[in-house]
Structure 1
Amino acid sequence: MNKVLSFGELLLRICPDSAGSWLKENSFPVYVGGAEANVAAALALWKIPSAYMSAIPDNFIARQLLGYLDELNVDTSAMQYSGERIGLYFLDKGKDLKNAGVIYDRKYSSFSELETGTIDWDKVFYGVTWFHFSAICPAINQSVADVCEEALKAASEKGITISIDLNYRAKLWKYGKEPVEVLPALVQYCDLVMGNVWAAEKMLGIPVSETLVEEHDKSAYLQQSQISSKAIMEAFPKCKNVANTFRFDHGSGIQYYTTLYTQEELYISKEYMADQIAGKVGSGDCFMAGLIYGFYKEHSPQEIVDFATSAAFAKLFTESDFNTTKLEDIKKVVQEYEN
């Protein structure tokens, strides 16, 4: 069946506006999300056999969410039923998840209470050829980090391709360990590592030039991307592909480009710039989905990074966590923003 299985916490994003109008109106937007669910939804939209695994309680809200995922053609047969609640996070409309204003409400969620020895990985991985997760999972607590390692060992033994998104969420790492103490043990199983050079420094101990941000020079960023990518591959021999994103805010606008290092060569995407966007949540997940799509379809490295970048940039013009831009519409959305 050649399914891509994404594993992570299914979340609800609640968006009260910063002005507080939601109090008078008694309403605010609620979006279904979670980094790995975002990847699964994008892949399903693009007609890739996509599956998603999380842990949810057995209640009417969870059943509604599963019905929604099923409507999107995301296979939820590996879902685990346990615990009593779904994780939440609160974020002002249009803000980024790295923003200091994000509020997490994920303690005691079903996913956070996962434990090793309770999941039948042979059953979960049946028909799966690609397994994706993110660094958000092991950020939750040690128990979930251990479950991640259990999953990675099982997937590796079955020869399943493994990818990770090194997304760093400072507000989640609260259980007494730094990311660099946890992530290397997990990344050793990965074939594809995606993130940015600063995340690689924070999570894997791959150093970045101290003057890089002050210089704000594209050629310096690209050089650092190649240096960091090579260092990751040397530290983790199973890794054969490293992708880095570069997204910079300019007022209400944004500048975006990416790289893919593979086969000892750095491939650089087109660069895009926009003065106004709809929202930042899920753009990196869409880039990750674009990479998986390209590798799944066995496209050339340049085609892979170009498609993933255009898909991620197009995602900036949708408000929901899930990508809603179809394959045939991506180019039309981004072409006027090419720099």
Structure 2
Amino acid sequence: MGKVLNFGELLLRICPDIEGDWLKNNNLPFYVGGAELNVATALALWGIPSAYLTALPDNSLTEQLTAYIQGLNIDTSAIQYTGERVGLYYLHQGKDLKNSGVIYDRAGSSFATLKTGTINWDEVLKDVSWFHFSAICPAVSLAAAEVCEEALREASARNIRISVDLNYRAKLWKYGKEPIEVLPRLVQYCDVVMGNLWAAEKMLGIPVPQELAIADQKELYLQQAAVSAKQLINDFPKCKVVANTFRFDAGAGVRYYSALFTANQLLVSKQYSAETILNKVGSGDCYMAGLIYGFYQDKPAAEILEFATAAAFSKLFVEGDATTVKANDIKEKVRNYED
């Protein structure tokens, strides 16, 4: 098997405390992340050959960032050195990226200004057997969406397995296109689709009954997961696997489970709950990494589902953007949180 190539924008997360003490203390914590880099980091940690494709400016900061990524055992040879700046975002510690308080500073970044026809795909896709991206990529800019589509055409032409995380970020879609106008063109290339019911509705037009969210009943959610997955596979025949995550926040705590639809069967994971968690950023990325980890090794679908769910839940107790929990430690990490 070849490398897993993860394509997306490297981001620096600036993390001011809610009280504003960072101003008085002259101390502003930050984390290196980005959805696809978080996936790459988890896979490398778990022993899967992992590579990363992004665009960064050619300067001393990039040299340090690239060295940092290499130190995580991630292949950086595909990185494109172009443009003027690294993307940033600001988020208070413990908050969710879907939270209205997130502030993006990504306009005009190296990734946002990446152009089609500039990447040597023969070189970049050499020895690659899996290509992963997220719906954040085409949300950044029209140029990024066009490069993403180019990448998928090239990967598909080489029979490379392709996965997507349908993570929706309302604040990023600002260049005149709605997700429904962009994502179907990209998802047609995908073998594995991960997200949630409402992201699939927003991005792919797969309807969800309006009253479903209000009902808040697990049985109804799972019934809809099967219905939505069947329609997705019907609409996008290349897709063979659909995963849906369900995370419900309650005060400082969380309830979490997921479902995997494949071979015309819906599998449901264990459910985990915690009264307090540390960090919501990167949990979905860790779930995606868990799926790739399992399918890359041809493990049974039920085993893949349980590992991905446990990995995602364990990430809620890790401070940074990417997991630091080794594959062999994940089950033990979440054992006491099973419902």
TM-score normalised per structure 1: 0.99
Where do 1:179-258 residues align within 5 Å? 179-258=179-258
Partners of 1:258 and 1:63 lie apart in 2 by: 39
Where do 1:60-75 residues align within 5 Å? 60-75=60-75
- 1:110 lines up with 2:147 in the alignment: no
Query: Deviation at 1:234?
Result: 0.4
Query: Deviation at 1:71?
Result: 0.7
Query: Deviation at 1:151?
Result: 0.5
Where do 1:256-271 residues align within 5 Å? 256-271=256-271
List per-residue Cα deviations over 1:170-225 (Å, max 9, x = no partner). 00000111100000000000000000000000000000011101110000000010
Which secondary structure state, in structure 2, belongs to the residue aligned with residue 24 of structure 1?
helix
Which secondary structure state, in structure 2, belongs to the residue aligned with residue 317 of structure 1?
coil
Letter in 2 for 1:82: T
Which secondary structure state, in structure 1, belongs to the residue aligned with residue 112 of structure 2?
helix
Partners of 2:137 and 2:33 lie apart in 1 by: 14
Which secondary structure state, in structure 2, belongs to the residue aligned with residue 89 of structure 1?
strand
Query: Deviation at 1:142?
Result: 1.1
Task: Look up the match of 1:41.
Answer: 41
Where do 1:1-339 residues align within 5 Å? 2-339=2-339
Gaps of 5+ in 1: none
Query: Deviation at 1:60?
Result: 1.4
Which secondary structure state, in structure 2, belongs to the residue aligned with residue 261 of structure 1?
strand
Letter in 1 for 2:168: Y
Partners of 1:61 and 1:323 lie apart in 2 by: 23
Letter in 1 for 2:200: A
| Count of equivalent residues | 339
Partners of 1:326 and 1:29 lie apart in 2 by: 24
Query: Deviation at 1:61?
Result: 1.2
Partners of 2:214 and 2:320 lie apart in 1 by: 33
Query: Deviation at 1:37?
Result: 0.2
Query: Deviation at 1:298?
Result: 0.5
Letter in 1 for 2:269: S
Letter in 1 for 2:193: V
Partners of 1:272 and 1:113 lie apart in 2 by: 41
Partners of 1:5 and 1:45 lie apart in 2 by: 15
List per-residue Cα deviations over 1:111-147 (Å, max 9, x = no partner). 0000110101111000000000000000011111110
Partners of 2:62 and 2:273 lie apart in 1 by: 38
Letter in 2 for 1:325: V
Letter in 2 for 1:133: F
Partners of 1:207 and 1:124 lie apart in 2 by: 37
Query: Deviation at 1:331?
Result: 1.1
Partners of 1:116 and 1:177 lie apart in 2 by: 18
Which secondary structure state, in structure 2, belongs to the residue aligned with residue 180 of structure 1?
helix
Letter in 2 for 1:123: E
Query: Deviation at 1:79?
Result: 0.4
Query: Deviation at 1:18?
Result: 1.4
Which secondary structure state, in structure 2, belongs to the residue aligned with residue 247 of structure 1?
strand
Letter in 1 for 2:181: E
Which secondary structure state, in structure 2, belongs to the residue aligned with residue 113 of structure 1?
coil
Partners of 1:328 and 1:141 lie apart in 2 by: 39
TM-score normalised per structure 2: 0.99
